[in-house]
Amino acid sequence: MRDSNTRLGVTLMTVTMAIFAIQDVVSRHLADEYNVWMVVMVRYWFFGGFALTIAARRAGGLRNAAHSAQPWVQAFRGALLVAEICVMIVAFIYLGLVEAHAIFACYPLLVAALSGPVLGESVGWRRWAAIGVGFIGILVILQPGSGVFEFEALIALCAAIMFALYTLLTRHVARDDTSATSFFYTGTVGALAITPIGLFFWEQMTMPDWGLMALLCVSGATGHYMLIKVYEAAEASAVQPFAYLQLVFASAAGVFILGETIRPEVVIGVLIVVSAGLFTLWRERVVVRR
């Protein structure tokens, strides 16, 4: 039964990463035409409403979903994620999907590196070595000191740091709160945080772009809901490596839909980063089992 659940979890994770890649393409297009804050705000209105609907249909309703042992941490998580999404979309604009995701792929290494100071977890020398190797891969991608280096690449690195912190805080609150509570705060707080800024930068949209906005909203909510189902179906350690498929799908979309190119240095750097990330995930699984 567990093997069957793992296969289901892997299948769902693969589909989820494909959905997120579609979401990234649409986000890039809309952000090219309109203000990022407004695009993310409309997306979060739908996401917040979706989170409220899911919470209301669960046992205990909204009151139970909103009950948290750490409400301020949950609120900070929600605000941090919506800020990270804005930063990442800006990275899409300046770098394109391929290079932005290539740099963002280092976030599991950041999670491993920060798990000690943030969560008090022990990180052994093997994982520290993998983290060091992974950041060599990032340097290969960025090529600091060369004419190829772009300061805009630091935007994607900032997004990776923010998402790593969000991931760690999600693991922290999971010690006391349910996944339903975390999902509720992610959607509602994010919508509340982005709305004042998004309204200030409101722009009129064309009807075709409203159609794309609807696709963005539906894909975002569907992706997050499926991610919950992924972790309900299988252990996180078994399915987490397949989250790297978003890099594959997004890069393919960047090349075939947006006409982007892939530098050889990016391919080499990504292989180093992903290999190091997969090793840290494997070592974490080994340590947890012990």
Q: Are 149 and 143 in contact (CB under 8 A)?
A: yes
146-194 pLDDT, tens per residue? 444 567 888 999 999 999 899 888 888 888 888 888 889 999 999 999 9
| Stretch 15-38: mean pLDDT | 92
What SS3 class is residue 120? coil
| Stretch 13-20: mean pLDDT | 90
What's the chain's length in residues? 290
Q: Are 213 and 30 in contact (CB under 8 A)?
A: yes
Tokens of 269: 């750097």
Average pLDDT along the chain: 85
78-99 pLDDT, tens per residue? 999 999 999 999 999 998 898 8
Cα–Cα nearest to 43, from 62, 65, 56, 24: 24
Q: Are 244 and 274 in contact (CB under 8 A)?
A: yes
Helices (H), 105-202: 107-119, 125-142, 153-173, 179-200
Cα–Cα nearest to 156, from 283, 232, 269: 269
| Stretch 13-23: mean pLDDT | 90
pLDDT (0 to 100) of residue 2 = 46
